[in-house]
Amino acid sequence: MNTDISNIDMEELRMAKRLLENPGLAARITNYIGMPIEKGFEMLPKNWNEKVVKITHTAIQKSSEAALFTIKDQPGRKTSNNWHRLAVAASGGVGGFFGFAGLAAEIPVSTTLMLRSIADIARSQGESVKNIETKLECMQVLALGGESDSDDGTESGYYVTRALLTKSMTEAAEFIAKKGFVEEGAPVLVRFFANIASRFGIQVSEKAAAQAVPIIGAISGAALNTIFMNHFQDMATGHFIVRKLERIHGKEVIEELYKQIPN
- DSSP string of 77-107? PPP-HHHHHHHHHHHHHHHHHTGGGGHHHHH
Residue 97 has pLDDT above 60, yes or no: no
CA 225 – CA 113 distance, rounded (Å): 11
Q: Quick one: which of 225, 230, 181 has its CA closest to 64? A: 181
Of residues 101 and 28, more confidence is placed in 28
The whole-number average pLDDT for the span 45-64 is 80
**In the chain, % of residues over pLDDT 90:** 33
Residue 90 has pLDDT above 60, yes or no: no
Q: Alpha helix locations (H) across 180-217?
A: 187-212
In the chain, DSSP finds a helix count (H) and a strand count (E) of: 11, 0
CA 117 – CA 89 distance, rounded (Å): 13
Q: Which of 109-118, 208-217, 254-263 has maximum average pLDDT?
A: 254-263
Amino acid letter at 133? E
The whole-number average pLDDT for the span 30-45 is 77
* pTM confidence score: 0.85
First to last CA, the chain: 16
Q: What is the pLDDT of residues 145-185, one digit of tens each?
A: 866 555 544 346 899 999 999 999 999 999 888 877 655 56
Confidence band for 204, pLDDT divided at 50, 70 and 90 = confident
* Amino acid 169: pLDDT: 93
The whole-number average pLDDT for the span 210-238 is 78
**In the chain, % of residues over pLDDT 70:** 75
Of residues 75 and 186, more confidence is placed in 186
CA 81 – CA 192 distance, rounded (Å): 27
Q: What is the pLDDT of residues 7-27, one digit of tens each?
A: 999 999 999 999 999 878 888
Q: What is the CA radius of gyration of the chain?
A: 18
Burial call 147-168: b when 16+ CB within 10 Å, e when fewer: bbeebeeeeeebeebbebbeeb
CA 235 – CA 237 distance, rounded (Å): 6
* Amino acid 189: pLDDT: 85
